[in-house]
């Protein structure tokens, strides 16, 4: 770019100056600068006072020729100054207070000044909570157009992130709603979807959460669907589930919602759970450990209690969960059971399982 400017300077000084203006403001845009930086840039490049008004969001700013903030008093007659509307459908205006005639690059300064201000306002405007929620919905919608996705990504500040993902969590939670999130009605109830970066501490939580796979911004719709599935597989003893940790289980759960009737093994799990408040937690413990003693330790009960419970459960299931093949079958059945029964509604905390004696 520097070489191009030098070549243009030798051929056309005005064109070279205009190119410098473009490069200057593009650098501010790429650096996600604030509004005052664009004001200062316009003032310094022109040697004039510069201003900005955007009535819709109650923005009113003005700087002197050195880029220092000054008051809008007395009221400024904007019409007398070189100016540029931010958009045809709004009253936002940027201007420079040039006392004499226009200089050759004033028009380019106003154009790039206006473009930078408009982009920055779109990204950081007042009412960010509602606007962020709308932008999240756009990014999670596979049917939204490429331009809508681009604007939403810019709004949320993830347009240049190489890897992003979706975290799905219950709306009823003790945690403050995260930024870049929205609430979506799903087959499992109303669920909060938040767009996050992979390096965030996603598993440092006792709250229920499903973590989708990371990837480029364009793959967020897929990450959302998989995060929701992971959330539906959470339990009281395993509150955070990552899609990427599910392995081959993802093949089974992918088509579970298409089944009109529950799998026969799920119906057997439901019969087991009906035995008492202890049954669900005992099934989970037996599926996740390799012995009755280990399961008893996990549940905080005597191993003889677990043995007696297992006998009851085996009788209902029709197979032994003590055998490795039985544990594998139970693990798959429990996954399908949780997909069918886990609900996350506003007024109801995520389902908990009793582990008491």
Q: How far apart, in whole angstroms, are the C-alpha atoms of residue 245 and residue 242?
A: 5
Eight-class DSSP state of 100: S
- The answer, yes or no, to whether residue 205 has pLDDT greater than 90, is no
Highest mean pLDDT among 230-234, 251-255, 352-356: 230-234
Does residue 133 carry a pLDDT above 80? Answer: yes
- When mean pLDDT is compared across 7-16, 193-202, 231-240, 243-252, the lowest value belongs to 7-16
Q: If you average pLDDT over each of 42-51, 95-104, 116-125, 196-205, which comes out highest?
A: 42-51
Question: Quick one: average pLDDT of 76-95?
Answer: 82
pLDDT score, position 200:
66
- Domain spans, the chain: 2-124, 129-244, 256-341
| Residue 55 pLDDT > 50 | yes
- Please, what sign has the CA dihedral across residues 10, 13, 16, 17? positive
Predicted confidence (pLDDT) per residue in 258-310, tens digit: 777 888 999 999 999 999 999 999 999 999 898 999 989 988 999 999 999 99
> What is the percent of the chain with per-residue pLDDT over 70, rounded to a whole number?
84
Q: What is the mean pLDDT of residues 317-334?
A: 92
In the chain, what is the greatest distance between 2 CA atoms, to the nearest angstrom?
Answer: 96
Of the candidate CATH numbers 2.40.50, 1.10.10, 1.10.3470, 1.20.140, the domain formed by 256-341 belongs to 1.10.10
Cis peptide before 351 (omega within 30 of 0): no
Contact 116, 175 (CB under 8 A): no
Give the pLDDT confidence score for residue 125 in this predicted structure: 57
Q: What's the first-to-final CA gap in the chain, in angstroms? A: 73
Q: What is the mean pLDDT of the chain?
A: 83
Is it the case that residue 221 has pLDDT exceeding 80? yes
With bands split at pLDDT 50, 70 and 90, how would you rate the model's confidence at 203?
low
């Amino acid at each position: 770019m520097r070489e191009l400017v030098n070549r243009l300077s030798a051929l056309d000084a005005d064109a070279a100056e205009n190119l410098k203006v473009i490069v200057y403001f593009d650098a501010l845009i790429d650096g996600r600068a604030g509004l005052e930086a664009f004001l200062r840039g316009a003032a310094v490049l022109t040697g004039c006072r510069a201003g900005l008004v955007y009535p819709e969001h109650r923005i009113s700013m003005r700087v002197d020729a050195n880029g220092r903030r000054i008051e809008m008093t007395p009221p400024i007659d904007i019409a007398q100054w070189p100016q540029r509307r931010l958009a045809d459908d709004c009253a936002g205006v940027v201007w420079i207070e040039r006392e004499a005639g226009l200089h050759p690059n004033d028009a380019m300064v106003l154009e790039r000044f206006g473009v930078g201000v408009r982009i920055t306002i779109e990204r950081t405007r007042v009412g960010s909570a509602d606007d962020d929620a709308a932008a999240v919905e756009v990014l999670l919608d596979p049917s939204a157009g490429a331009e809508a996705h681009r604007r939403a990504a810019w709004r949320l500040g993830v347009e240049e992130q190489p890897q992003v993902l979706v975290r799905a969590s219950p709306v009823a939670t003790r945690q403050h709603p995260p930024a870049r999130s929205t609430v979506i009605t799903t087959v499992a109830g109303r669920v909060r979807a938040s767009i996050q970066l992979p390096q965030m501490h996603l598993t440092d939580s006792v709250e229920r959460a499903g973590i989708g796979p990371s990837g480029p911004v364009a793959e967020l719709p897929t990450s959302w669907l998989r995060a929701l599935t992971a959330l539906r597989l959470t339990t009281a003893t395993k509150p955070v589930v990552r899609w990427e940790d599910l392995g081959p289980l993802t093949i089974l759960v992918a088509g579970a919602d298409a089944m009109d009737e529950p799998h026969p093994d799920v119906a057997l799990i439901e019969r087991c759970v009906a035995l008492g408040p202890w049954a669900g937690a005992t099934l989970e413990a037996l599926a996740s450990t390799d012995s009755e003693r280990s399961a008893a330790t996990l549940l905080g009960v005597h191993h003889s209690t677990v043995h007696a419970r297992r006998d009851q459960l085996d009788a209902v299931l029709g197979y032994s969960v003590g055998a490795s093949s039985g544990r594998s079958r139970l693990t798959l059945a429990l996954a399908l059971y949780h997909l069918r029964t886990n609900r996350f509604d506003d007024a109801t905390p995520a389902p908990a399982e009793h582990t008491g004696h």
